[in-house]
Chain A
Amino acid sequence: GDSVTQMEGPVTLSEEAFLTINCTYTATGYPSLFWYVQYPGEGLQLLLKATKADDKGSNKGFEATYRKETTSFHLEKGSVQVSDSAVYFCALSPYGGSQGNLIFGKGTKLSVKP
Chain B
Amino acid sequence: EPEVTQTPSHQVTQMGQEVILRCVPISNHLYFYWYRQILGQKVEFLVSFYNNEISEKSEIFDDQFSVERPDGSNFTLKIRSTKLEDSAMYFCASSGDRGNYGYTFGSGTRLTVV
Residues of A bordering B, CB below 8 Å: 32, 34, 36, 42-46, 49, 51, 89, 91, 93, 95, 98-107
Contact = CB atoms under 8 A, between A and B. Distances in A.
- Which residue among B43, B97, B107 has the maximum number of chain A CB atoms within 10 Å of its CB? B43
Contacts of B56: 98-99, 101
Contacts of B91: 43-44
A34 to B, nearest CB: 6
Contact of B31 (A32, A51, A99): A99
B8 interface: no
Given A99-B48, A100-B95, A46 B42 contact: no
Contacts, number: 68
Contacts of B50: 99
Nearest to B47: A101
Interface size of B as a range:
20 to 34
Given A49-B101, A93-B99, A99-B50, A44 B33 contact: no
- Residue from B41, B98, B100, B108 with most neighbouring chain A CB atoms (10 Å): B100
A43 B99 CA distance: 18
A99 B100 CA distance: 9
A100 B106 contact: no
B13 interface: no
Contacts of A102: 33, 35, 43, 45, 93, 99, 103
Q: Identify which of A36, A93, A98, A101 gathers the most chain B CB atoms within 10 Å of its CB.
A: A101
A46 B102 CA distance: 7
A101 B91 CA distance: 13
Given A43-B91, A99-B31, A102-B35, A32 B45 contact: no
Nearest to A105: B42
Nearest to A42: B107
Contacts of A46: 102-105
A101 B101 contact: no
